[in-house]
Chains A and B, each alone.
Chain A
Amino acid sequence: MGTCGLATGADEVYEAIHDEVNRLKLSYLVTGTGCIGWCCEEPLVDVCLPGKPRVTYGRMDARKARELVQGLPDGDLKPKWAIGMLTGYDNPLTDSRTRYAKQTARVDGVRRYEDLPLFRYQVRWASRNCGVIDPTSLDEYIARGGYLALHRALQVMHPTEIIAEVNHSQLRGRGGAGFATGKKWEMLRRQEAKPKYLICNADEGDPGAYMNRTLLESDPHSVLEGMIIGAYATGATEGIIYVREEYPLAVKRMQEAIAQAEAAGLLGDNIFNSGFSYRLRIVKGAGAFVCGEETALIASVEGRVGEPRQRPPFPVERGLWGKPTCINNVETWADIPLIVMRGGDWYAQIGTATSKGTKTFCLVGAVKNTALVEVPFGITLRRVVEEVGGGVPEGRRFKAIQTGGPSGGCIPESLLDLKVDYESLTEAGAIMGSGGMIVMDDSTCMVDIAKYFLTFLADESCGKCFSCREGLQRMQQIVTHISDGHGREEDLALLEELGWMVRETSLCGLGQTAPNPVLSTLRYFRDEYLAHVREKRCPAKVCRQLIAYRIDPTVCDGCGACVRVCTSEAILGEKKQVHTIDNARCSKCGACLEVCQPKAVLVE
């Protein structure tokens, strides 16, 4: 059970099932798994009866769960509640399949995962075990081929062979910058200073992105295994997993996994009797966005203020405590066992010319299936949004997709056929980032979005560079002016100039990408800015200062619901009489719009 499942009540459901199974004295195994990524249907319950496919139920609650369990002894799988079924689950690591039932087994009225658009286009490599195994069980990880790659690496392969395989795979850093992992490892291997450090960067701070968290919570051992292989290949003797304090469950799972691995002799001294020793520990970050930047991360681990410094010297030369250090993202580490087991060429078989393999994305916002998905590079954004994500909800129009977290850019509909890879996204004014994808429909105001991300970044900037600290504050000020209806046309040019300057002159990745949300929305949605500036109008009806609420007298039935929720006492009218809104007092909170049953409240 991941954080997302628990937040929607998975533990209650779990308790209920456990209870019911005990009460009915059934000999079922009840266990928690990691997250399969079907976020919009959480909490999920999977039932696997002998000879039957594994059936998934979505949006469960304790009552439904009890009812489900009661029907199971009679073989009643309640197909009307089911959202999908699996006869087996592929394991790319060993090129095999975990089987639940015969390939042809069916439950009537339930669609197979393979037929669901959400799963049909996914290639689950890094998240191969997510939602399949119990993340707290080392045995289940091993049953899925876990630590085979480590065994192979330590017993059969020379460190340089491992690096060669990683080079062949053309694996690039999944944290967003996309530096070639093999090259980084090679550089670390060449360093003579000792000790060498490996760091797993799990400081995921983007709003709306949770790829790393899910991976750590659902399959912690895959990250450990990747790190141990990496250490053997590069000659590192110590490792650190840098996780944010806000991910308590991920920290707990990781601690458990480290303890299990140490107890099993997979971590510590003389691993697999090969003479190779490696130690790992967890360092918790205080949740500063900038500490995802590698030099700031190192400063934070050392106990200093999380501020980036100039590179070169790169951490690979002078990193943690001045020693050679290699930092990779959680997902990069999780990909390593695959590459070692199947070979670099196998890994590089899918993808585009410059980006190989798969990438996890958090598909959130205005899509039917909000989900954590893993798709191959080269898939079009349109397929991700319209098929995997199921498209925007009915009655709405797609407007933009924001990739790469707060410092990514907004890509408009005209570019939806873009193939996802590092270069194409950068060219479109966005970035790959660590894999956030926020879909926006026509109820989103792009000026408001730019304002939101600028506010986030101005707050998360460490403040070292004058350009980033002051520049972002000024840009935020200007965008706020525009959304308040006080903007001038020359402000747009000023925004572009300031954005250019912040991008050019800032020290670290945060500053260099921070203007992206503004610059990309100015590039693709200039009309919307101009409507705010020239006509003092917000086309999406979001910017509070530019809209007014009105009650349609022909629809209003005088129920008084709006009067009760209005905290500004701006709604006048007696019960059973038509109400009116006093715009001078209205704070434009929108509460009346939400409660009005006959939909009499209009936004203008």
Chain B
Amino acid sequence: MPKLTINGIVAEVERGTTVLEAARFLGIPIPTLCHDDGLTPYGACRLCVVEVGKPPRSKLQSACTLVADEGLVVQAHSARVERARQLLLELYVATCPQSKTIQDLASRYGLRRERLEPKFEDCIQCGKCVRMCAEQMMAGAIGFAFRGSRRKVMSPFRPQSDVCRQCGACLYICPVVELRCHGAHPETALCSGCINFAPACLGYHDHAMCFLDPCVACELAGPLHPAPVFRTERPKAPDLSAARLDSSHGEGK
């Protein structure tokens, strides 16, 4: 069993354990956005970077994808790591300022200023939804398309995927998007937003699976108040215009 050192603590872990898992086992907190215990590590959010090796030859590597090896020396909270995380979080807040998860993390890292223009994006492309869909829901309905600044999560060639069961797992696992209900939508819209209402509405929709907690639409309307206007008839043909899927909940949240 490999022995590694994290923040000066020597620990023996099972073969195949990642540094992140070992650190968490030891009670050393390492922030993550793209990691989930049930999913394959991806290493996209970079928040879990730790300093590996002895300075000055040390390198920052993501703890979630780094497998513990014999004699590995890791600093999870060195000045260099903390500085990098702080700058990353500044970039995260600028990209997705409306996310409470990111706000909380930034606040924990003492971020007190934002020098970049806010972008109000809904997606940080952590890939959790993609992995959730493929690995846990066995659907593989969504994936990454394009590269660089144009990269996004979507179903192949945009239309509603044949294999999507609208289970809502992607929405459930998403670390940043607190999706608000935008009213009734065709049932083909990926988020099931139209049927996702807080308990007050559940009487109305038998089969609703609500992941919105809290559902802002219902809260605003007040309990038992049928304020959101529903269409009693479901729209017949799915509206697959690009505009629909381009909106905030179209892309696999």
Contact = CB atoms under 8 A, between A and B. Distances in A.
Interface of A: 288, 290, 305, 309-310, 312-313, 458-467, 469-471, 473-474, 477, 490, 494, 497-498, 500-501, 504-507
A462 B147 contact: yes
A465 B115 contact: no
A466 B148 contact: no
Contact of A501 (B66, B84, B147): B84
Nearest to B145: A305
A347 B61 CA distance: 36
A494 B46 contact: no
Contact of A463 (B80, B95, B149): B149
- Cβ-closest 10 pairs across A and B: A463-B151, A310-B65, A501-B87, A505-B46, A461-B148, A467-B46, A459-B148, A504-B60, A504-B84, A505-B84
A507 B62 contact: yes
Contacts of A497: 87
A463 B144 contact: yes
Contact of B46 (A460, A490, A506): A506
B148 A471 contact: no
B44 A465 contact: yes
Interface in B84-135: 84, 87-88, 91-92, 94-95, 115-117, 124-126
A424 to B, nearest CB: 18
Contacts of B151: 462-463, 469
B91 A471 contact: yes
B164 interface: no
Could you say which interface size class chain B belongs to?
35 or more
14 contacts: A459-B149, A461-B149, A464-B43, A466-B92, A469-B125, A471-B91, A477-B117, A494-B116, A497-B87, A498-B87, A500-B87, A501-B83, A506-B46, A507-B62
A458 B149 CA distance: 7
Nearest to A463: B151
A469 B148 contact: yes
Contacts of B88: 466-467, 501, 505
B75 to A, nearest CB: 13
Given A490-B115, A505-B60, A463 B94 contact: no
B143 to A, nearest CB: 8
Contacts of A288: 147
Contacts of A500: 87
A584 to B, nearest CB: 28
Contacts of A464: 42-44, 125
Interface string B148-186: 111100000000000000000000000000000000000
A458 B42 CA distance: 21
A461 B62 CA distance: 18
Interface in B25-76: 42-46, 49, 60-62, 65-67, 69
B47 to A, nearest CB: 8
B73 to A, nearest CB: 15
A309 B147 contact: no
